[in-house]
Structure formats: structure tokens, C-alpha cells
Structure 1
Amino acid sequence: MVKYLALCVFALTFVSFGYGNVVPSRDDQLAVPSCGGYMFVEDEVVIDGPFSQDCILQFETQEDRILAFSVLDGDVKDALQFLNIHDGFDLDSPILKVENQIVHQVSRKDRPTILYTKNSEAIVRFTKTPTDSNFQLKIQKAVECPLGIGDNTQCGPIVDDVSCHCAVFNTKSFPDMTMYCLDYKMKLIIFENRTEEEIVQKTWGTQNPYWTSLTDSRRDGTWVWESTMTVLKAGNYTNWFPGRPSYVANNADDCMLYGGTIYLNFWGDISCATLARGICEVQP
């Protein structure tokens, strides 16, 4: 859920019209001549002006996450004419620049320009008063998305602007693929809806089979998304190949993959020892 906030130019705190953790500025050393404030970003916030020159805003999210800055109904590149975003809680911290951002070979279609920090803290300082009175700054909690996670891999923010998906092209068994994702602080993918599955399949194809985290190895017939320990229940999204999964008692087909010449773009159950590619993901 998005939090919308209005910023009063004569106050040192944000006034929230939604909800969230709103507290006074954490850094007493910062001079805030006209406006400013501090906010912990739990998910996503949008702040309105009016903003003035030398206004200083502090944002922070959880320690192992980063911040993503964009502009609603605009381009953050244009906003850099009147503000700087510092990667940290120090005005001497590096200023985020579009040309220094990671460029992924795969990413979400029609994606807006977004500036990502490398830290969980950031300062926005207005160097000029914005000419657009409707200017709105959007700040999201995000994960750092690398270009790859080891040899023969490819990563990108393909589903949204804050998560990260990585294709592992070297084939592994289900247990080994699960551990490979965990080694990079990611998890083997789950599909909660058709939209995400279609995006992933369109990005990396279905010519080869890819592991997901769905398995019934703990209890035959009870399928669980192992990455979240969520039981697949009646009414949940599924995309099984016709006639799958196998309901033969004590069968050895305990792990789910999709793709390949047998299952195409559908889900199929198969032995967990099978060698296949995999999709790792991490969410904010």
C-alpha cells in the first residue's frame, strides 16, 4: 500500500495523511533552514510539496534493503535539475546519478527511470525550488539486483521495480538449486499468479526446464512452496500439465519444474534428482 504524505515547508517533520512511522529528523547536525524531516520506509511512500530550496529530507529502510527513487507522472532525470539524492545520511555521501546505475540486460517493460541507493539510508536535498507545483517524489523499499549471481546466470528487475529475479543456466538437482539460491540470499521461485509466471517465461523462455520451489517431498500429495512454506490449496493458482501431478501412491516425482520438451510452459512433477535450470528471486 502506498503512503501519501504532504510536506509543510515550515515544519521539521512529515505530516502523514496515510500511515507509517513518522518521527523527527534523526540527524541534529543537519541544518534545515526551511523544511525537512525523517521517515522510515516500510514499503512505499509518495510525498508532495511544496518544497523549497535547501529543504533536506532523510529516508531509511531496513538494514539489508535499499531505497528506490522515482517521480510520479514524470522523470527523475528532470528532477535532478533541482534536487540531489545522497547515498547515505551524510551530505558528503555520493550523489546518485543516472549514468552510474546498473543497466540490466533484462528488466520490466516500459520501466521508468529509477535511482537506486547502495545503502539503506538516503538524503534528498533540494538545490532549487521545483517549478512544478504538482511534483511528487516516490520512495520504495527495494532489493539490490546484481547483473548475475555466479557463472552463467542473468538477473534483472523483470516483474516490478523493487524485486529481483535471476535465471541460473547451469543445471542442478532441486536440492542443489535450492541451496544455490540461498547462497546468494535469494530463494527458489514461487508462482502466486499467472502474470508473474508469464513474465518469467517470456524473459527466459520455456525451451529448457526450470526448477521452482514447489514440492511434495515432505508429505506425498501435499504440495508446498518450500521457499515460503506455503501449502498449495484448492483455489490457488496452478498451471499443471494435463494429467499432472501424479497421484500414484509413493511415487518419486516430488518436485515441480516447468518448461522443456515434455511440459512446455506448464508445470510438471518429476524426480528431485533431475538436472534442470532454475529461477531464484528475492522480494523487498
Structure 2
Amino acid sequence: MEMPSSLLAICGGRVFVENAIVIEAPVHENCHWNIQTQEDRILVITALSGNLKEAQEFLTIHDGSGKDSPILIVENQKIHERSRKDLPEAVYTTQSTASIRFKKAPTSNLQLKIQKAVDCPFNLGGESQCGRVVDEITCYCATFTRRNHSSQTTYCYNNNMKLLTLETYEKEQAIKTAWTGGIYFWTSLTDAQQEGEYIWESTNTNLYPGYANWSRSQPTNVDDEDCIVFYSAMSGRLYDSPCSNINDAICQAIP
């Protein structure tokens, strides 16, 4: 049974999560859901209605599909240093499967949202910071070891991530809020292949038509400035730069 982005109001079953599903708490006792997503992703569970912490009186969330799989509880979930403080209470699995067992019917309306998410590392070294910066399913890591554009691209790849893309104003503002202080971060935007044709290499998508917050008089396209940095000061804008320059970088992982 595959019902992405659906409201499941029956008592238990098996479901594959492509993006997101919503489970409505049953009126019956002993309802059991087996949840699965793609193998290289994890699951995040939040409450659309009701309180996830209080809901643990009525249900158990297991990290895996076996009967002996560990029980996950809200209090045990570690919060990354740079994660947004306004994200909903969530439970994250460590693998691509989970099971939810309703021990008894809740006394109030309860809806659980289950989404495919990426794992977010807690430690990429002393010169890095990671967090759920934009939402509960993605992950962003800043590295403050300065490297050229090619080396930062490789660094992200070696950590199962890709160099930053900034497709929307909302995402740009979230990144800027997480890492302030006037730091130049490499992005994956470049026109190295064709002058003036900008591509987000991490997603292989064109910049235009799309959101592009260039600084005034940018891009200048001089001195082989084929790679683009994001300036995390008040302006939060884009500048072109020679790819051989050394800068900090932000890596991203998106489901």
C-alpha cells in the first residue's frame, strides 16, 4: 500500500513513505503500522494535531520494524547546534524503517505526520556546524576550514552532501539567520561551463528563471570569476569570485 501525502484513518498496515503521509490515530486499541522509506533515508515523525510528547502515553514508536526494535521518545532526541528553535517536536529514526503501535485509543484527536528525511551529522570536525536550518527533513552543515571551490565541493561529497543551493528567499533567510557575521560561503552556483549561463551544480538546474539575489553591480564576470559566494551579512547576497579563491562553505542534504 503506497499512499504518499494521504490521511490514513484505518487501523494499521504497511506503508511506504515517498514524501509524507499523515496517520490519524485510530479509535481502536492495538493498531500497528509498519513504515518504510528508501534505504538511504530516515523517517521523521511529528504531530499535526495533539502533542507528540503526551501522545507517548497512547503509542510507541520503534526504530525499526522488529518487535525488539528500540523505542524512540521525544526526550531522547538530540538537537543540533544550528537547528531552528521553532521546529515542531519530532522523533527521528536512525534507519529507513519504523513501526508505530497504538496501545490504546487517544482521548483526543491525534494526527501523526511521517516524512522522509536525511540523516544530519553531529560532528564533521571541530571547524563545522550542522543543523535542521530550514525544516525538519533537510540538513545543512557549515565548514569553517577555508578551501577553494573544487575542494569544498569534494568535502561536501565526501560527507554525503552537496554544496549549497539558494532557490528561494525563505531558504536564503534561514541560512543567513543560522550563520551570521559576514562570512563568505561557497555555493554550487557557477557559470564555468558557459559564461553568463549560471547553473546550480548540486541540482543541475538553471539559475534563470528563478530567485537570484545578486549584490549591487554583480555579477562582474571579470578575472575568470566563475564561482559564486553567498555573503552572510545583512545583505545576504551573491558575489562572483575566482574559483581558486579560498572560502568557507555550506553543504546541504535534501531528501
> Is 1:274 equivalent to 2:245 in the alignment?
yes
| Alignment equivalent of 1:209, drawn from 161, 164, 184 | 184
> Is 1:218 equivalent to 2:193 in the alignment?
yes
| Alignment equivalent of 1:182, drawn from 139, 157, 180 | 157
Displacement of 1:108: 2.0
Instruction: Name the aligned partner's letter for residue 146 of structure 1.
Output: P
Q: Distance in 2 between matches of 1:122 and 1:3?
A: 18
Name the SS of the counterpart of 2:140 in structure 1: strand
Structure 2: 5+ residue stretches without partners: none
Instruction: Name the aligned partner's letter for residue 176 of structure 2.
Output: Q
Name the SS of the counterpart of 1:175 in structure 2: helix
Displacement of 1:205: 1.0
Aligned to 1:105: 81
Displacement of 1:73: 2.6
Q: 1:70 to 1:264 in 2, by over 3 A?
A: closer
TM-score for both structures, normalised by structure 2: 0.94
Q: Is the 8 A contact 2:176 2:232 kept in 1?
A: no
Q: Distance in 2 between matches of 1:110 and 1:59?
A: 26
Aligned to 2:44: 68
Aligned to 2:8: 6
| Alignment equivalent of 1:238, drawn from 164, 187, 212 | 212
Aligned to 2:254: 283
Q: Is the 8 A contact 1:244 1:269 kept in 2?
A: yes
User: Percent identity at matched positions?
Assistant: 43
Displacement of 1:48: 1.7
> Is 1:89 equivalent to 2:65 in the alignment?
yes
Q: Distance in 2 between matches of 1:217 and 1:130?
A: 57
> Is 1:156 equivalent to 2:128 in the alignment?
no
Aligned to 1:23: none
Q: Distance in 2 between matches of 1:51 and 1:282?
A: 38
Q: Is the 8 A contact 1:43 1:141 kept in 2?
A: yes
Instruction: Name the aligned partner's letter for residue 230 of structure 1.
Output: T
> Is 1:36 equivalent to 2:16 in the alignment?
no
Point out the structure with max Rg over C-alpha: 1
The CA RMSD measured in Å over matched residues stands at: 1.8
Displacement of 1:260: 7.2
Name the SS of the counterpart of 2:64 in structure 1: coil
Deviation string 1:120-153 (CA, Å, 9 cap, x unpaired) is 0011111222111x21111111111122323310
Q: Which deviates more from structure 2 when the two are superposed, residues 141-150 or residues 190-199?
A: 141-150
Name the SS of the counterpart of 2:240 in structure 1: strand
- Bigger RCO of structures 1 and 2 (CA < 8 A, at least 6 apart): 2
Q: Is the 8 A contact 2:221 2:240 kept in 1?
A: no
Name the SS of the counterpart of 1:197 in structure 2: helix
Deviation string 1:176-205 (CA, Å, 9 cap, x unpaired) is 000000001100010101111111011101
Q: 1:91 to 1:5 in 2, by over 3 A?
A: same
Q: Is the 8 A contact 2:192 2:226 kept in 1?
A: yes
